[in-house]
Amino acid sequence: MLNRVIILGRITQDLEIRQTQGGVAVLSFTVAVDRGYVKQGEERQTDFINCVAWRQQAEFISRYFAKGRMIAIEGNLRTRTYDDKNGVKHYITEISVDSAFFAGEQRPSGSNGAPAAAHAQLPQSAQHVQRPNTIDLPQIATNFSAEFEEILGDSVPPF
């Protein structure tokens, strides 16, 4: 079976890390994710995805992210139920966060998002994260073209 979820969106509220009775860090938050299509004549729709992070992931997210900041989340989808004080059963679907990644533009100091001081305190491994959008595609294509030869004629492909 496979249960993997990857989303990219913006954090919708201020982050507040909590501790369980056993002292385990937990962070619940919501990410706003725009849908990839817009019906003609309508506004773009947004889904609000509930997420929960535990332990080191919770601490990492609460330290380096803030309301309005773009975040990429990888995890698995979980469902649970609970009965409220009136006996009404509620169904919850949320992403259990395995990994969180920086995404989108870096914000200048003094704007919404992670404070400028947090950028200076990033661990060495987080400072050198390469974003997928920074790849120079023409250079890659040039490097690969030297490894292949052009096939001329109507011959049968060699595979």
Task: Please write the tens of the pLDDT for every residue from 25-42.
Answer: 999 999 999 998 888 899
Instruction: Tell me whether residue 77 is in a domain.
Output: yes
Instruction: Tell me whether residue 147 is in a domain.
Output: no
Write out the chain in H/E/C secondary structure: CCCCEEEEEEECCCCCCEECCCCCEEEEEEEEEECCCCCCCCCCCEEEEEEEEEHHHHHHHHHHCCCCCEEEEEEEEEEEEEECCCCCEEEEEEEEEEEEEECCCCCCCCCCCCCHHHHHCCCHHHHCCCCHHHCCHHHHHHHHHCCCCCCCCCCCCCC
Segments forming the whole domain that contains residue 67: 5-35+44-129
What pLDDT does residue 39 have? 86
Please give the residue that has the higher pLDDT: either 142 or 147: 147
What pLDDT does residue 143 have? 45
- We report the CATH number of the domain holding residue 66 as 2.40.50.140
Task: Please write the tens of the pLDDT for every residue from 64-93.
Answer: 999 999 999 999 999 999 999 999 999 999
Please give the residue that has the higher pLDDT: either 155 or 26: 26
What pLDDT does residue 129 have? 42
Q: How many domains does the chain have?
A: 1
Instruction: Tell me whether residue 70 is in a domain.
Output: yes
Overall average pLDDT of the 112-132 stretch: 42
Instruction: Tell me whether residue 146 is in a domain.
Output: no
Instruction: Tell me whether residue 122 is in a domain.
Output: yes
pTM equals: 0.64
Which of 10-19, 25-34, 47-56, 101-110 has the least mean pLDDT?
A: 101-110
Instruction: Tell me whether residue 136 is in a domain.
Output: no
Instruction: Tell me whether residue 143 is in a domain.
Output: no
Instruction: Tell me whether residue 56 is in a domain.
Output: yes
Res 54 pLDDT > 60: yes
